[in-house]
Structure 1
Amino acid sequence: MSIFTKLFLLFLVSLSLMLFVSRETNQLTQAKIEMLLKEKYLQASTELFRDLSNNDSTALTKRLQAFDFEVITETQHVLEHSKSIYEKSSSFGEVKILMDAKGRYLLLMRYLDESLLVQDRAQDESFLQQGMVTYLIFADIFVLVVIFLLIVKLLFPLKQIASTLKEFGEGALHVRMKYFGSNELGKLSDTFNAMASNIEALILSRQRLLRDIGHELRTPLAKSKLALEMLGESKYQQSLKKAISQIDELTKELLDIERLNANMEQLSLTRFNAETLVSESLSRALIDDESLVELHMDELFEIKGDLNYLSIALKNLIDNALKYTTQKPILIEVKERTISVKSRGEALEYALDYYCEPFAQGDDARGVEGFGLGLSIVKKIVQKHGFKLSLTCKKGWNSFSVSY
């Protein structure tokens, strides 16, 4: 769940809670005002009813002043737009508590043909306080909304920062963050842009160095191979050829690893079937004797990837299997979206990661017990495609498998 989603859910919960509190507060305040006015009206009605029945206008006026009541003259109009919330009748008259269209509470008393409609002036102050509480609650809601929008505005650049970091991590070394001002995000963008520029310069410098090294090494190696061909056969010629071939192979593998590490090579993704990949890999392995490899093709599945790189990876697995098997032929199996290269021999002692380290066995890395750089290149190619490389050792077979 993203930060924005969590923040939005928190905002909804807070807003719902405040609206609920506002509603409950209004209802409780309204009920309290109604209860207090009802008690006051009922208490006052007894005394007012006595003055009304005695037809003592002077005493009635003083009583109304004592209770802080105001007489309403437009009786008919008010009664038409009011509802009754309490009624009590007798043989001589009745007492009613009403609520008018504005939400004010009124006291209506009738005695024979006489009627009196009054309201408590103090209730205006109570309603004013209720309105103030409601106003404050809605002010809090407004502030909450403003705070939410401000936080969203502050968090929005994080999406752009994450997108830029992802692009840069995928090899787009030219991307930079835009300017976010002089705040902390602005300082972050400036720091990243400076770092990205330094990294880009270092990688470009290494690219040039790799190209120069490749050119400078391959030229004398080619001349050395040509010179050896022109020499007569001798016991030293084969040793020199082998040494030069190993140097040439080591140079190529080192350059391949550096390209993969530096994301210099972007994958050229196409769709092809497993048979095409196996055929391409076998042709690169330059196997003269077809009896050295036994192929079991149980399933022809489709693969989406870089055929060039994946064929290099499978070719390296085939080369290793031919180099270190104790009994030929080796076996290539294609089934269940997996290509496995199997060779006979004792079960390997270490886990897969050990053999995928460059020069895992030091000076013996290219000897009988070493795996050189071949598996390191295989691992990097497989990881770059998002596929899975695994190692199993069962019943005298060592199997390196790539699941697509």
Structure 2
Amino acid sequence: MIKNSIFLKITLLFVFALISFFAFSFYFIKFQIDNESKQSMVKYKQFTATINQIITNNGDLQTVEKFLQELGFEITEDLNIKEALLNYNRLPPLFNGLFAKTIQLNNEIYILLETQGKAILYKDTFNTHYQTYYFITLTGIFLLVFVFVLVIRGLLPLKKLRLQIKRFANGDLNVECKTKQSDEIGELANEFDNAIKKIAALGQSRTLFLRSIMHELKTPITKGRITAEMIEDTLYKERLISVFKRLQTLIDEFAKIEQLTSKNLHVSKEEFLLEDLISHTKKMLLIDNIDTDPIILNDPNDIIKADFELFAMAIKNLLDNAIKYSPDKKVFVDSKCFDLVISNKGKALKKDFNEYFKPYFKDRDKKHIDQGFGLGMYIIKNTLDAQGFEISYQHKNGTNYFTIHNCIVENFCMVPNQKKEVKNEAME
């Protein structure tokens, strides 16, 4: 994540720009110094040629000195430079006149006037100053650093916004992203803050609406059950009570679905027998007292580790669909290693299995009066996802197989060593 950080990219870009500016300034100043040094050397040689021409025309030392003073030259009194003059070849002993030449010492250019007994060094009083170049370089560096600081300060709210978005994604709606920053990032943060407030308001109104509906439904159900208790006919009494129990169970299921979709449901896994699970789902389906049991359970002692209520809700919907759409109204519950397999006789699903997970999905090819609202597979998918389980589908030899993977921690159809290995792997 650090490698893809926008702050790292901007910092690297700034370092590259700073190094490039340094390199450009260094070579530019060096070029200017070398160029001006060459120009100065040419200029001094022209002066020297003029002085020698004056000497040739019988000009004396005073005439030459006056000429140099008019050009802005003055005698150099630097002792180090005078000492360096000793390294230059002196005039021949028989030469009694005046001679001028251009010399270069310590990267400085001078005009040397020599006689047999005297040497005078002249330096131009006009000095070339490179402070302007250095000032421009320092100004450029300052501007680069200033722009870098401005950009980083402008991007700093992104860190806070990222943390707030992460909190919001984890279900915390009490986040504050509003800022006084007026650029694009500030507008983004303010718009996200407005979106959070709207989503929170919608969530609260939705929760209030669902809870109000469920509360209003509980009142007539309670009254109906009390009335059913007063009926003397035992058969009708039991049927009515079972119906009201079923309605109460449906309301509780809706409450769990509401919590599940709003990510407010706490999942607590525990181990339980497959037989207990099927017994509970039979009560949910109101088939626990009928003579012909449509659910055929092959491995009742298998142990499942899941959230009992949520897992029972998923299994109940799977069993309900399997019974409803099976020609023989039978459903088979088997286990295969870690997996729980629910199967029934019937035609293959005509659409992609994932299409059935959409809420309010209805297969128009099925003409069942009790087809429902199309929430069965949606509930199955979400309840299993909340527990970390996956479901797959396969049709083979006229049978539909719905497999919930990795939910069994101990399978009693295995030999003892296999059971131990399966349980250890499932625990991991």
Normalised by the size of structure 1, how large is the TM-score?
Answer: 0.71
Please say which structure displays the higher CA radius of gyration.
2
C-alpha displacement of 1:138: 2.2
Check whether the contact 1:389–1:401 (CA below 8 A) recurs between aligned residues.
yes
Aligned-partner SS, 2:173: coil
Superposed displacement of residue 260, structure 1? 2.7
Identity %: 24
Structure 1 residue 26: Cα displacement: 1.3
SS in 2 for 1:216: helix
Q: Where do residues 290-329 of structure 1 align in structure 2 (5 Å cutoff)?
A: 292-294=297-299, 307=307, 311-312=311-312, 315-316=315-316, 319=319, 323=323, 328-329=331-332
Q: Which runs of 5+ in 2 are unaligned?
A: 93-98, 408-428
Alignment-mate amino acid for residue 148 of structure 1: F
Residue 357 of structure 1: aligned partner: 358
What one-letter code is carried by the residue in structure 2 that aligns with 1:346? K
Q: 1:72 aligns with which of 46, 60, 76?
A: 76
Give the C-alpha shift of residue 174 in structure 1. 2.4
8 Å CA contact retained: 1:173, 1:196: yes
2:349 equivalent in structure 1: 348
Separation in 2, partners of 1:217, 1:401? 33
Residue from 31, 40, 43 that aligns with 1:28: 31
CA contact (8 A) 1:109 1:116 kept: yes
Cα distance change of structure 1 residues 136 and 16 upon mapping to structure 2, 3 Å threshold: same
Provide the alpha-carbon RMSD of the alignment: 4.7
Mapping of residues 229-268 of structure 1, within 5 Å: 230=231, 232=233, 244=244, 247-263=247-263, 265-267=264-266
One-letter code aligned to 2:36 = I
Q: Report what 2:378 is aligned to.
A: 376
User: Which piece of structure 1 moves more, 318-327 or 23-32?
Assistant: 318-327
Do the aligned residues in 1 keep the contact of 2:179 with 2:186 (CA within 8 Å)? Answer: yes
Match for residue 99 of structure 1 among 106, 111, 131: 106
Confirm or deny: 8 A CA contact 1:89 1:95 kept in the other structure. no
Superposed displacement of residue 97, structure 1: 0.8
8 Å Cα contact 2:221-2:248 kept in structure 1 = yes
Return the alpha-carbon distance in structure 2 between the equivalents of residues 400 and 381 of structure 1: 15
Q: Is the 8 A contact 1:179 1:189 kept in 2?
A: yes
1:67-216 maps to which residues of 2 (within 5 A)? 67-74=71-78, 76-78=79-81, 92=92, 96-99=103-106, 105-107=108-110, 109=112, 111=114, 114-122=118-126, 124-125=127-128, 127=129, 130-177=130-177, 179-180=179-180, 196-216=196-216
Deviation at 1:135, TM superposition (A): 1.4
Amino acid at match of 1:373: L
Amino acid at match of 1:99: N
Q: CA offsets per residue over residues 169-218 of structure 1, 9 Å max, x none?
A: 43222222355367776676666556544543443343333333323323
Distance 2:266 2:25 in 1: 60
Provide the C-alpha distance between the structure 1 equivalents of 2:300 and 2:28, rounded to a whole number of angstroms. Answer: 80
Distance 1:89 1:403, change over 3 A: farther
CA drift of 1:12 comes to: 2.2
> TM-score normalised to the size of structure 2?
0.67
Indicate if the aligned counterparts of 2:360 and 2:373 stay in contact, CA closer than 8 A. Answer: yes
Deviations 1:18-53 (A, max 9, x none): 122111211211221222123233444455567789
More moved, 275-284 vs 210-219: 275-284
Alpha-carbon spacing, 1:175–1:119, altered in 2? closer, same or farther (3 Å): same
